[in-house]
Structure 1
Amino acid sequence: MARFDLQNIDAGHVGGTAETDILFEMGIMYATGRDCDVDHVAAHKWFNIAAIKGSDRAAELRAQLVKTMSKADLATAMREAREWMTSH
């Protein structure tokens, strides 16, 4: 399981926009199990979307998460991110 250092996260500077910050926070929520079950596929999806929208921190956490995921889970996360991006 990936470990995330939440002490060094400054939500106001994660991505530069409120939308990106929300997407980043969704990744944190699923990565840490805050108010939900831990779901690395969902965490990767949200970190990936936040990274695409400019969050360097999301890109870093996504890279950490990839190390713990199976190829099938990674493919699922990437597909879900693409689907979300095309519908939003």
Structure 2
Amino acid sequence: MPQVELQFGGGLESLTGGNKVVPANFSGEQVVLGRVIDWIRTCLIKEKHEYFVQGEHIRPGILVLINDVDWELEGKTSYVIQEGDRITFISTLHGG
């Protein structure tokens, strides 16, 4: 079963309990990043979901990287997860 590493920074680690290595093959078929994001929202984040997603989209101000490359260059939510991928979510918005 393929594995993907999920990294969270800029305060998002407090929502998820830190970085995780999780199975990427949730149902025996190819998994796209959109499904992983939905899984994060429903399984990892127990409260304050709106800090991570708004509706069906990642909240503005969160940088998403796929293996250190901006997800916009990789197809965003339609990117097909590969064995050993590292998906990083970094909040660029800070209070203060």
Structures share fold, TM-score greater than 0.5: no
TM-score, normalised to structure 2, is 0.27
Q: Where is the strand percentage greater, Structure 1 or Structure 2?
A: 2
Q: Where is the helix percentage greater, Structure 1 or Structure 2?
A: 1
Larger radius of gyration: 2
| Greater relative contact order (Cα < 8 A, sep 6+) | 2
